[in-house]
Structure 1
Amino acid sequence: MAEPIRVVITGAAGQIAYSLLYSIAKGDVFGKDQPIVLILLDIPPMLPVLDGVVMELQDCALPLLREVIPTDKVEVGFKDIDAAILVGSMPRKEGMERKDLLKANVAIFKTQGAALDKYAKKTVKVLVVGNPANTNCLIASKSAPSIPKENFSCLTRLDHNRACSQVAMRCNVSSDAVKNVIIWGNHSSTQYPDVHHAKVKVQDSELPAYDVVKDDAWLRGPFISTVQQRGAAVIKARKLSSAMSAAKAICDHMRDIWFGTKEGEFISMGVYAAGNSYGVPQDLMYSFPVCIKNKMWKIVDGLPINDFSQAKMDATAAELVEERDTALDFLSQ
């Protein structure tokens, strides 16, 4: 057997983690022959809950799970880790302004970024889930200068999966028959779900999504707003935020980092914009189409972009620039 890898999950007593931990511990993410040490990090008041989660993981009797370490200390949580899944963040409370939310989260992700810098392996792969995910990811990266920016990414795979599913249902095919949808920009209601480059497998042929759906008005209207507003729709119906689907998306994202994307396919993830792709300003974490090989992502460049798409991509970039500038003000205080 391989040496165990060390994986930390923050916000580990929360409901997303509760849906996530079993899949990771049983080998769905890092491989069926990869032993794992799970470190569960949360705030001090949640430690009794973590004890219950540890008991449940023990009771699953999973052969790959070598150790489970519950902690509220970053120096324990981030010590020598191979992967970090940063789920915990300050949720938006009723009456809270976005600026207040950003300020609270800058403090959290500055601390966690500094801890990654000090204690984690320099090869660590960091996935930020806690919202506002793109900007939290940028703050964590800036607070960990010794870890390459390319090692940080934020979750837009849930939006990507939602977009695939909507197209699949519309075309009456299984979701794996849809590939190369793109989520551009921010994991917020300004994100742009784009199917101009997507393909749908019908019988033995791969056809452009627009040709299979045959409803441009839907693809440019209700489809986009459904994906953008899906998180709010789930909260309205369930009275809780997306957990099962978020956990599945986290697994998809990390598995693709570990094992790479399929030939001819790309997926969406929030990654560092260096200012040379699709007119996106530099120094943002922006969701692009990427392909992954040897644990390194590469933006899929050169896709033709029409005026409709460019306007949407620019709008979500503008929101990210505003978020970044507000967050950086707090970071420097």
Structure 2
Amino acid sequence: MLTLLSAMYIVVRAASSEADPIRVLVTGAAGQIAYSLLYSIAKGDVFGKDQPIILVLLDIPPMLPVLDGVVMELQDCALPLLREVIPTDKVEVGFKDLDAAILVGSMPRKEGMERKDLLKANVAIFKTQGAALEKYAKKTVRVLVVGNPANTNCLIASKSAPSIPKENFSCLTRLDHNRARSQVAMRCGVPADAVKNVIIWGNHSSTQYPDVHHAMVNVHGKEVKAYDAVKDDSWLKGDFISTVQLRGAAVIKARKLSSAMSAAKAICDHMRDWWFGTLDGEFMSMGVYAGGNSYGIPEDLIYSFPVHIKNKSWNIHDGLTVNDFSRAKMDATAAELVEERDTALSFLSQ
């Protein structure tokens, strides 16, 4: 009898020690990025192998039949951490009690559309989503904006959710970071994880500045500066930068579709680091709120900086030296973001 009671106690204790499920929203959930992303989240690759998940999938009404198919596939994966899947087209359902929001959906640029028209359309979307975060989500929610123009969309969402800390909003530049890391690794003939501390400064656009002045490469067990490992300054200041800046367009040209697999991987990397922290001595690139006192970047922008993360809080890695070459590139992408911000804010007030 005592043995039976002990066994029952162990079972009850094990059941009660399981973590509560977290609610994770993915917008644009019927799209191709989400299709590559959802399995990794539900499997535990992002928020932890012992963290139950409730997945909330939001999309526009015409995409709901497609979303039903996505839900069926997630069910058919028989993933032990996936407690519930909630497909919806309603913000009051999608944004309720969220722990994490991954805002993938946005208005894509269509043929003949001017950039200001694209901004206007996305201001409307991210104003609505920011207001929904404000009204329905937890104040501790961590928000990652993926939909382009990601930096400015993120800023609009943040401004539309004033009671959620600005530090809880970020935009995705990890894909650019991963691209830069991979290009250096291939050039040096080493694995991608042998390269650390590349930086993406600024906008997730063709003005972004991939910077390797502070990057290190592990070559045969010894860490050396990226410039010394590559031994080709003209490439690092020329083709390397343009390759990273224009990689998304190159993928579209080759694949006839935008980046999906690599974008999903970058989203996972970004959110996992935000949840669990960066490694000691390493920083990653995130589009975060610029308060006006880091690296001379104007305030009130979402700008990509090198950050290190601990306890779900990021801090900009300050104190890096910036040479004249880098300064010019950093200022150019900041100027584009200022112009985007001012245009978007003019629409926000309408």
TM over 0.5: yes
Q: TM-score range by the shorter chain?
A: over 0.9
| Residues 72-128 of structure 1 deviation map (CA, whole Å, 9 limit, x = unaligned) | 000000000000000000000001000000000000000000000000000000000
Aligned partner (choices 92, 100, 111) of residue 75 of structure 1:
92
SS in 2 for 1:30: coil
Aligned partner (choices 216, 231, 241) of residue 199 of structure 1:
216
Query: How many Å apart are 1:22 and its aligned residue?
Result: 0.2
Residues in 2 aligned to 1:114 and 1:281: alpha-carbon distance in whole angstroms: 25
Who is 2:13 aligned against? none
Residues in 2 aligned to 1:36 and 1:203: alpha-carbon distance in whole angstroms: 41
Residues in 2 aligned to 1:19 and 1:275: alpha-carbon distance in whole angstroms: 36
Residues in 1 aligned to 2:246 and 2:102: alpha-carbon distance in whole angstroms: 24
Who is 2:134 aligned against? 117
Who is 1:107 aligned against? 124
Q: Which amino acid aligns with 1:295?
A: K
Who is 1:149 aligned against? 166
Who is 2:276 aligned against? 259
SS in 1 for 2:167: helix
Residues in 2 aligned to 1:209 and 1:9: alpha-carbon distance in whole angstroms: 36
Residues in 1 aligned to 2:80 and 2:270: alpha-carbon distance in whole angstroms: 23
Among all aligned residue pairs of Structure 1 and Structure 2, give the percentage whose two residues are the same amino acid: 88
Structure 1 length-normalised TM: 1.00
1:315 aligns with 2:332: yes
Residues in 2 aligned to 1:296 and 1:75: alpha-carbon distance in whole angstroms: 27
| Residues 185-219 of structure 1 deviation map (CA, whole Å, 9 limit, x = unaligned) | 00000000000000000122111000000000000
TM alignment of 1:139-288, pairs within 5 A: 139-288=156-305
Who is 1:45 aligned against? 62
Who is 2:51 aligned against? 34
Who is 2:103 aligned against? 86
Who is 2:3 aligned against? none
Residues in 1 aligned to 2:294 and 2:166: alpha-carbon distance in whole angstroms: 16
Q: Matched residue pairs, number?
A: 333
TM alignment of 1:316-331, pairs within 5 A: 316-331=333-348
Residues in 2 aligned to 1:133 and 1:92: alpha-carbon distance in whole angstroms: 13
Residues in 1 aligned to 2:114 and 2:230: alpha-carbon distance in whole angstroms: 39
SS in 2 for 1:289: strand
Residues in 1 aligned to 2:223 and 2:320: alpha-carbon distance in whole angstroms: 18
Who is 1:59 aligned against? 76
Larger Rg computed on CA atoms: 2
SS in 2 for 1:297: strand
SS in 1 for 2:246: helix
Residues in 2 aligned to 1:125 and 1:91: alpha-carbon distance in whole angstroms: 24
Moved over 3 A (4+): none
Residues in 1 aligned to 2:256 and 2:194: alpha-carbon distance in whole angstroms: 31
Residues in 2 aligned to 1:66 and 1:204: alpha-carbon distance in whole angstroms: 43
Residues in 2 aligned to 1:16 and 1:86: alpha-carbon distance in whole angstroms: 11
Q: Which amino acid aligns with 1:131?
A: N
Residues in 2 aligned to 1:163 and 1:327: alpha-carbon distance in whole angstroms: 29
Q: Which amino acid aligns with 1:12?
A: A
SS in 1 for 2:73: helix
RMSD: 0.3
Q: Which amino acid aligns with 2:333?
A: T
Residues in 1 aligned to 2:307 and 2:53: alpha-carbon distance in whole angstroms: 27
Residues in 1 aligned to 2:152 and 2:145: alpha-carbon distance in whole angstroms: 9
Structure 2 length-normalised TM: 0.95
Q: Which amino acid aligns with 1:160?
A: H
Residues in 2 aligned to 1:257 and 1:157: alpha-carbon distance in whole angstroms: 12
Aligned partner (choices 300, 306, 310) of residue 289 of structure 1:
306
